[in-house]
Structures are given as C-alpha cells and as structure tokens.
Structure 1
Amino acid sequence: MRTSAVKSVLFVGGKRTEALEAARNSGLQVIYVGPKTDMTARHHELVDAAFLFPEFSPELALRAAIALRELIPFDIAYTAGDLYLETAARINHELGLKSNPLRTVSAVNDKALMRDILRDTGVHQVASAKIRNRLDLEEFVTSNGFPLILKPTRGSASEDVRIISDATELADVAAGLESAGNASSDSAAPWVAEEFLEGREFSVETHSAAGEHQILAVTEKFKTESFVEIGHVVPARITAEEHTMLTDETKAVLTALGVEEGPAHTELILTAKGPGLVETHTRPGGDAIVELIRIVAGYDIHEMTFSWLSGERADVSHKPLAGGAAIWFLTAEQGRVTAAGGETEARTSEGVQFASLSAAVGDVISEVRSSADRHGEALAVGEDADSALRNAREAVARFLVEVEPLNPAGDPVQG
C-alpha cells in the first residue's frame, strides 16, 4: 500500500480521458490545468475544477498549479502525455508532493541525460554521445563507426530519428547541423548519437509501486525504415528466455533511473548481445497498447495507477478477453488524396474491435516521418498473437486511399 494515500489529483493537459475516468472511479477529486484546445465535453463531465489557458506553457502551468492548491488542495500532479510529463513532475517537486523524482522524469524526457545516468550501471551499455555540432558527430563515428542513430535529445513520436549509414550520409547530415548553427559547448545538446542496435524491437509495459516493478506485458513492435511505429502485438512472440532477458533489463533500467511508482513504457531491441535500451517513459504506452494489455493480460493500467495512488492494491487484474491483440496503422502513398473509404469493410473484418480512417479527399499525404503521418488504424483480436496480427493487417488492407502524385511545387504530376 502507498504510505500517503491520494484523495485529490491535478491532471496536467491531455486530450484523452481514460486516466481521468480511472481517477473518478477510484473516488478521487479531479482538478485539471491545461490548454483550452485539450478540453472536451467529456473532460467537463469528469473534472471538479479546471484552469484553462490558450496555449500550453510549462511556467504558466506551474504558477497556476501553485495558485490552485491554495484554493483547492490536491495531493499529486499527474499526466499521461509526453508534452506535460516534466511539468507535472516539476509541480510535484516544487510543492513537495510524493511522486517520481523530478530528475527521473527529466531523464526519461532527455535522452542524453538518460544515457549519462545509466552509464556505468548494471544495464546493457549503448554507446552514445551528445551532438552539438559537426565535430561531435564526426568524433562519434571515429569511435564507433557506421551505422549510427541520430535523434533529437528531447524528441517524441519517432520524429526526426535518422540512421546514418556511410560517409556520404554523414556529410549531408553534418552540413544540416552547420546550417542550423552550432550549439556552444555550454548549451544543451540538441541531438544525441547512439550506436545502431540490430534486432527485433519490443516494449515492456510495467507498473511500479514503492520501487517494485510489476511486469504487465511484453509488446512486439513494427517500424518503417524511418523508425515510425506501424504496428504492435501482445503477447510478443518470444521464447521464455527472451522474455526474462527483456523484463530483467527493464527492471534494471527503471531502478537505475529511480522510478518509484506508476506506469512505464520501456522500448528495447533484442540484439545478439542481449537487450539494448532505446528509451523509456514514465507513462503508459501509446498507440492503444493500454487496450492491447487490457484485452490479453487483463490489466487496466489506468485502474492500477489510481488504485495505488488512492491507497489500495496496485496489482488488480481481470479475466483476459483474448489470446492475442494487435493494432496496425495505414501508411499511404504520397500525394493528394483523390478517393478514400473502406471503413465499413475494415470494421466488419474478422476480429476487429476498432477501425478508423483519417485520410480524406483533398488531403496531401507527405513522407512518413512521425506517428502523426499515419492515416488509419485497426485494432483486432485473435486466438493468439499471429491471428490477431493477421486480422489487424487484413483490416487495414481494406481501407481505400487513392492519391495523385504531386511535383515539388505541390501541383499534380502531368502524365
């Protein structure tokens, strides 16, 4: 049980309401602070009080939270959104509220800081370096060779992650760094370089309570060549030995970073030398992974979180609903959409629980560079992981998206 039970929670931002509903179901008072654009009719139904502002500002959110606590006391600030994690942690830190330490949350949002903290610990070491300019990048290549991964230090949703495979690609990327302007040695590094980890990718979903990390599921992940996630399946198709390696490494990472409580989503690649950490997050997994776990493992991550915070047992579980569950995303061809449809066919496909197409006639589809560039999804169940994955992919194949190619000026290409 948690030593200090929570009776009131301040939610920081977020358009989704599942966590708010779980807090309500646990009998907690719900207060909300965030941008007006995140607020929906369902939010209004769930919250007891709200402070809204036109655009999100971490400083404004902190000041608002401090002022609100004088009027409506709350016991913890919480969020499930990447954009707001560090702000919620800073509110807890400034007000002395029990939660994951600010340095822990900062580390999972700053990939360079995370590597610094994990260096010389018992976790699998991944070569990395802060990249401020061309020289930093060239020095990393000299020490570690090709290929390498370059990613924004504080990036999310797989945006701007790139692989550099040879000297030509290095020269192109380095030129881009120079044109953007070199950061000084005293400033925060905007990029981090990491050794390329070769192998299958997974995520381990956990819930922590008083520093003990409970494994909820291992998710198998699928990505494009530009590292954008296009599918997930639970359970991961791995051996018992691989499961142990992945989960043991995850627990070691969370302990080394100082994660004390709440959900975490840890991404790893299973290499020939064992699991290597990609990144971790002190929040539930996105892309409906929460739903996949609920269906297959019987754990509702939001319910577990607020059960723990309210002073109850965290290891609540329910009867699994299927042997496998998967979600698959549509990545359409580039161009202007001339026809779109097939939602009814996708939704009535075998095992489908949910299907949605976001592409519409007139939309311009660009290169898939982040999760925001996907244009449809289908979540399906099956008797096992293979059948669930097949059902989800077949449902997405039923979407119809036709495009006309565009030239660099944005005009249709003449045939």
Structure 2
Amino acid sequence: MHYLGARDNAPTWLAVGADEATLIDDPAPGTVISAAKAIHVERAFGVALSVSDAYVEAAAVINESLGLPGNGPGVPRAVNDKARMREILRDSAAGAVVAARVSTADEVKKFASETGYPFILKPVDGSGSFGVTLISDADGLGDAIARTVGATAVAPENTWIAEEYLRGPEFSVETFSADGTHHLLAVTEKFKGPNFVEIGHLVPARVSADIVRSMTAEVNRCLDAVGLTEGPAHTEIVLTDKGPRIVETHCRPGGDGIVELVRLAVGLDVQRITFDWLAGRPLNLDRASEPQSAATWFLTPRAGTVSSVSGLDEALSAEGVTEAHVTVAPGAVISELRSSSDRAGAAIATGKTPDEALRRAREAAGRIEVTTEPTS
C-alpha cells in the first residue's frame, strides 16, 4: 500500500502500516490528483481509495483518468452534495423527501411557505452534524436564517439544503458493493444529542428482520440511483411512519468507530473486505459463528475550559469494554455540542445482547469524568 496525504496530518501508523508513503505540503484535491498520477508513472498501483469525504472524489478522478476500477467521479459528486443527492433520488424509486437547494433568505422563506414546518436547514456539503438546524415554526425562522444562510451571504458559493424534517428513530446501513450488487454488512442504531450530534451507536440495531429488509431495500434503491457499484457505503436512514427514508449516503465506511462495532458484533471487517476487493480476491462475507453486540458512547461534557480528566483506567477495566479514549486535556476549551468535533472521547463495549452492550458502553463512558470551568 502506498499512502498519499498531507504532511501536517500524517497518521502515526505509517511506519508499520504502509509499504510506501508520499507526504505533500498542499493537500488540495488537485495537488493530490497530480501527485497520484506521478506516483503511478514511477510505480503503477491498482486503484486509488479514500475513506475521507474530502478526497473520495479525487480518488475517483484518479481511477477514471488512469483506467482503474471503482466508482466514477459522478458518484462522490452526487453524495457529497446533499441537494444534488435529493435531486437524483426525486427521480428514483426511493421514498420521497421534499427538499430544495437554497442560498438566500428569500429562498428559505419560500420553502417554508410552500412546505410548512418543521423543516431542516443544513449545508449541502456538511459533515459531522455541523450546521444542521431545525426550524420548528415561523417564530424561529428569522434567527435560523441569520445563523445559517444569512451568515454566509457574503460567499455566494456557500449553499444550503432545506428539507422536510423526518420524524422517527435514526439508523445507518453499512454495505459493501461489488459489480453493482450491494451486500448488507450491518444496521447501526444511532443516538442523538443536542443539535442532532451523534452521541452513541449500537450494532446490531434493535429492530425486526422485516424492518431490516425494508431499510436495506430502500438503501439499495438509493445506491442504485446515485450510481454506486463498488466499495463500502454508509447510508443514514430514518424510520418514519411512512416507512424508511434516506437522510444521506456516503461512498465510504461509517465513521465514529462504526467499522469497529461491525467487526466486533458480526465479524465482518470492512477494512479487510475492502483490501480483498482491491486485490481482486473473492469477497469473504462470512459472519462470526457466534455473533454478539457492540456499542459506543461518546463523552459530551459541559462547555468550558477543561480543568481535569479522570477515570479512563476505570473505564478500560470495566466488563466488556474493548476501547476507551479521551481527546481533551486540561486547558482545552470545549464548545457547546454543535458537531462531532465537540465531543471529548468515547468508550466501546461488547455484550451478548444489544441492551447489554449499550449499557456497558454508557456505564464505561460515565466513569470518565471531564471537569470543565466557565471559559473567561
């Protein structure tokens, strides 16, 4: 494996996890594409792959220009632009979701007058729940516009999507596709905190087999519509009273440790499956003979300046815990929970049942105390 990435953000595992590495000072997608082509001239590679939303399109451009396998650039362009994805799904067999691309306050007001409340406003290219805003009624419309569309009015290239608010529990469906066939790996149950930030995940989700089949069918319709034929995908879905509806999809594995939850729970290693596919080996989708459950719970301390961190060793020693970490230290400033980057760590635990795994993960996270003081 040849790793190509930014010098300032090089992973610690490079020395043992990569055969070769090329580090560049300018990580812009165009620079990455040029560097990859130069590498291919010196030592041809079989395919380019990225698990980051920022570079999945660059990887697709590299593959297409070099005649290598994989999804075409149109796929990441569709899924990374949430408004474009909605436009594509509107003409597909997927369940209908009312949505519109908006970039001005008047366009948001027009959407509100035509569709009513509540509705969601979010960046078309956002990630980690950043900027997701629920507009519940007309009284909150002006303030929401000021914090979103109004705040970026000086940059016309910044656009947003307004879409109907999907009511119901949220899940993600983890899949791997080969030659246009989408294989279900797992369904993840998701837990949300303030501002729609994800604070926990559970595999497998506590839903019936019939519901799993209906969600999987909806995801397959979505992936077919956007043209995804190869590799991992992570599709978020809400189970509404009208059936499953797509929130968004990604042509990469799920983040937030979901890959590890799937491996622990059902024995399917998305990374190994991906590299087997890249190497041209047959897909091995055999599940664990004794499946279990796995959950992660995130630390969401109060906003402020961190004064102390304790309890990590106690969390790591708790029954069923496979991993626990903290991402802040004394002196760090924690913001109000508005995106995934505002979380302060997590704990992962396994159990014989989903309830047991979830309880253990939550209890382990609860043993870690991140104390904060008001930031002056």
1:142 matches 2:113: yes
Match of 1:181 among 136, 153, 164: 153
Q: How far apart, in 2, do the equivalents of 1:216 and 1:266 lie?
A: 12
Aligned to 1:308: 277
Give the match's secondary structure for 2:109: helix
Residues 76 and 148 of structure 1, relative CA distance in 2, 3 Å threshold: same
Q: How far apart, in 1, do the equivalents of 2:285 and 2:153 lie?
A: 51
Q: How far apart, in 1, do the equivalents of 2:354 and 2:90 lie?
A: 35
Q: Is the 8 A contact 1:133 1:183 kept in 2?
A: no
Q: Is the 8 A contact 1:381 1:388 kept in 2?
A: yes
Q: Following TM superposition, by how much is the alpha carbon of 1:387 offset from its aligned partner in structure 2, in angstroms?
A: 0.4
Q: How far apart, in 2, do the equivalents of 1:40 and 1:80 lie?
A: 14
Give the match's secondary structure for 2:329: coil
Show the 5 A alignment for 1:353-392: 353-392=322-361
Q: Is the 8 A contact 1:131 1:189 kept in 2?
A: no
Show the 5 A alignment for 1:15-414: 30-176=1-147, 177-181=149-153, 190-319=159-288, 322-406=291-375, 411=376
Give the match's secondary structure for 1:115: helix
Gapped runs of 5+ residues in structure 2?
none
Q: How big is each residue's C-alpha offset from its partner over 1:129-170, in whole Å with a ceiling of 9 and x where there is no partner?
A: 001101110111111111111111111111111111112321
Q: How far apart, in 2, do the equivalents of 1:55 and 1:319 lie?
A: 43
Q: How big is each residue's C-alpha offset from its partner over 1:251-283, in whole Å with a ceiling of 9 and x where there is no partner?
A: 111111111111110000000000111111111
Q: How far apart, in 2, do the equivalents of 1:377 and 1:398 lie?
A: 11
Q: How far apart, in 1, do the equivalents of 2:46 and 2:98 lie?
A: 40
Read off the aligned partner of 1:221 and give its amino acid letter.
K
Give the match's secondary structure for 1:226: helix
Q: Following TM superposition, by how much is the alpha carbon of 1:319 offset from its aligned partner in structure 2, in angstroms?
A: 2.4
**Structure 1 length as normaliser, TM-score?**
0.87
Give the match's secondary structure for 2:143: helix
Q: Pairwise CA RMSD of aligned residues? A: 1.6
The alignment-based identity, stated in percent, is 45
Give the match's secondary structure for 1:208: strand
Q: How far apart, in 1, do the equivalents of 2:202 and 2:25 lie?
A: 38
Give the match's secondary structure for 1:377: strand
Q: How far apart, in 2, do the equivalents of 1:272 and 1:73 lie?
A: 51
Give the match's secondary structure for 1:278: strand
Residues 364 and 179 of structure 1, relative CA distance in 2, 3 Å threshold: closer
Count of aligned positions: 375
Give the match's secondary structure for 1:230: strand
Q: Following TM superposition, by how much is the alpha carbon of 1:51 offset from its aligned partner in structure 2, in angstroms?
A: 2.3
Q: How far apart, in 2, do the equivalents of 1:189 and 1:96 lie?
A: 33
Q: How far apart, in 2, do the equivalents of 1:101 and 1:252 lie?
A: 18
Q: Following TM superposition, by how much is the alpha carbon of 1:318 offset from its aligned partner in structure 2, in angstroms?
A: 4.9
Q: Is the 8 A contact 2:133 2:144 kept in 1?
A: no
Give the match's secondary structure for 2:194: coil
Give the match's secondary structure for 2:175: strand
Residues 299 and 68 of structure 1, relative CA distance in 2, 3 Å threshold: same
Q: How big is each residue's C-alpha offset from its partner over 1:69-97, in whole Å with a ceiling of 9 and x where there is no partner?
A: 11111121101112211111121122232
Residues 189 and 401 of structure 1, relative CA distance in 2, 3 Å threshold: closer
Q: How far apart, in 2, do the equivalents of 1:306 and 1:384 lie?
A: 30
Read off the aligned partner of 1:242 and give its amino acid letter.
I
Give the match's secondary structure for 2:196: coil
Q: Is the 8 A contact 1:92 1:99 kept in 2?
A: yes
Read off the aligned partner of 2:88 and give its amino acid letter.
I
Q: Following TM superposition, by how much is the alpha carbon of 1:322 offset from its aligned partner in structure 2, in angstroms?
A: 4.8
Q: Following TM superposition, by how much is the alpha carbon of 1:401 offset from its aligned partner in structure 2, in angstroms?
A: 1.9
Q: Following TM superposition, by how much is the alpha carbon of 1:115 offset from its aligned partner in structure 2, in angstroms?
A: 0.9
**Structure 2 length as normaliser, TM-score?**
0.96
Q: Following TM superposition, by how much is the alpha carbon of 1:181 offset from its aligned partner in structure 2, in angstroms?
A: 2.1
Residues 108 and 382 of structure 1, relative CA distance in 2, 3 Å threshold: same
Residues 262 and 275 of structure 1, relative CA distance in 2, 3 Å threshold: same
Runs (4 or more) in structure 1 with deviation over 4 Å come to none
Q: Is the 8 A contact 2:70 2:230 kept in 1?
A: yes
Residues 320 and 379 of structure 1, relative CA distance in 2, 3 Å threshold: farther
Q: How far apart, in 1, do the equivalents of 2:84 and 2:31 lie?
A: 25
Read off the aligned partner of 2:83 and give its amino acid letter.
A
Stretch of structure 1 that moved more, 68-77 or 174-183: 174-183
Read off the aligned partner of 2:15 and give its amino acid letter.
H
Read off the aligned partner of 2:111 and give its amino acid letter.
F
Stretch of structure 1 that moved more, 317-326 or 256-265: 317-326
Q: Is the 8 A contact 1:296 1:320 kept in 2?
A: no
Q: How far apart, in 2, do the equivalents of 1:47 and 1:338 lie?
A: 38
Give the match's secondary structure for 1:69: helix
Give the match's secondary structure for 1:205: strand
Q: How far apart, in 2, do the equivalents of 1:295 and 1:352 lie?
A: 11
Q: How far apart, in 1, do the equivalents of 2:289 and 2:248 lie?
A: 28
